[in-house]
Amino acid sequence: VTHSHDVPPLPAPDVPAAVTALRARGLRMSAARRLVLEVLYAAGGPVTAEEVAAGLGGRMTASDLGSVYRNLDTLERAGLVVHAHAGHGPAEYRLRNPGTPGVACCEVCGRSQPIAAPALAHLQAVLRDRLGWEASFSHFPLLGRCPDCAGAGAPLRRG
Amino acid sequence: VTHSHDVPPLPAPDVPAAVTALRARGLRMSAARRLVLEVLYAAGGPVTAEEVAAGLGGRMTASDLGSVYRNLDTLERAGLVVHAHAGHGPAEYRLRNPGTPGVACCEVCGRSQPIAAPALAHLQAVLRDRLGWEASFSHFPLLGRCPDCAGAGAPLRRG
DNA sequence: TTCGATGCAAATAGTTTGCATTCTA
DNA sequence: TAGAATGCAAACTATTTGCATCGAA
């Protein structure tokens, strides 16, 4: 699902701050919801709903996958989380970071890396000039080969 | 599924030429396979597997969806067809056109448009310089707002 | 007369949803 | 204690696959 809901607050630096921010929004704090927050902050990078539900590989109490999806959605509406579709496979969720509004995902090694705001702005300017297109690399990442895989000459799908 | 199989031949200008090219590849010509070709050439733009199976809205004899997927895959391996994932929803299949190796898809109105080879090359150069990234907009399109929707101020999802 | 291709149905992955129950504020 | 959130299961979309049968070369 795609969101164009209410205005997002600034992201919270840690779990307690996130809890406070969510409470301020009138949201309740349950075990399942706290798990999602804990995993997201502990991971420090993109995670799938499945990974969250598994409690980061069993280190935390696992939760229902359906509830995890609902909570990730809630957190996204609240402006704490964003998700992106990295090609095939499940969506990747991460803490929202205004400094890195874009995502690039390598089709060869599968790793995804953030695109910093200045670089993103430059890319968007080129796309605007060249195609008249207002590009977004947040929800659907930039896909291709990362510097490492491109250098190694890994094959790319045909155009 | 992703393909990095054999070398693609040049695309065929019409259905008879495509049939000949496929026969030359040792492929057989069945009613179901011919339907896929007819729809692809008649549509002149991207179509979903479902649309192909429906015989372009009932104007042609419908076919089994599973067989359509298999045939689209076969035609893609043969180099006549490419498909792209335009955000959410089903994949879009089209006749391969070396002159337009990229696709841009509007998240607002849903329309997708080809990216011409020179423009694509320019974009790729910028991405290479700026991020070291070897981008591909063929299998996963460039997503954002098309000139029309961007001008109309249609809302874009949050970054 | 072979395999390649089909139709049908079942399986799969990822995600959403209905509903009765539980728990937070 | 009202309403939010949960757990479970069923539904859903897009796609793949197993298999017996059929048909093109």
Footprint of strand D on the protein (CB under 7 A): A 27-28, 30-33, 63-64, 66-67, 70-71, 74; B 1, 23, 28-31, 48-50, 65-66, 69-70, 73, 85, 89-91
Q: Which residues of A touch B115 (CB under 8 A)?
A: 131
Does residue B7 surpass a pLDDT of 60? no
CA atoms within 13 A of residue A61's CA, in its CB half-sphere: 6
Sheet with B112-115, strands from edge to edge, namely: A134-135, B142-145, B102-106, B112-115
Test B4 with A150 for CB contact under 8 angstroms. no
CA distances for B77 relative to A89, A107, A158, B74, angstroms: 22, 19, 10, 5
Give the DSSP per-residue string, A57-71: HHTS----HHHHHHH
Q: Which residues of A touch B158 (CB under 8 A)?
A: 3-4, 8, 79, 82, 138
pLDDT recorded at residue A41: 97
Residues B129, A143: Cα–Cα separation, whole Å: 16
- The nearest alpha carbon in chain B to A112 belongs to B133
Residue B46's Cβ-count burial label (10 Å; 0-12, 13-18, 19+) is buried
- In A2-141, beta strands by DSSP E: 81-84, 92-95, 102-106, 112-115, 134-135
- More confident: A57 or B91: B91
Which nucleotides of strand D come closer than 7 angstroms to any CB of the protein? 4-10, 13-18, 23-25
Does residue B2 surpass a pLDDT of 80? no
- More confident: A51 or A3: A51
A3 in contact with B, Cβ within 8 Å: yes
**Quick one: which of A63, A114, A128 has its CA closest to A86?**
A114
- More confident: A11 or A77: A77
Cβ-based neighbours of A20, under 8 Å, separated by 6 or more:
A12
pLDDT recorded at residue B132: 92
Mean pLDDT across B36-46: 95
- C22 C1' closest Cα residue: A30
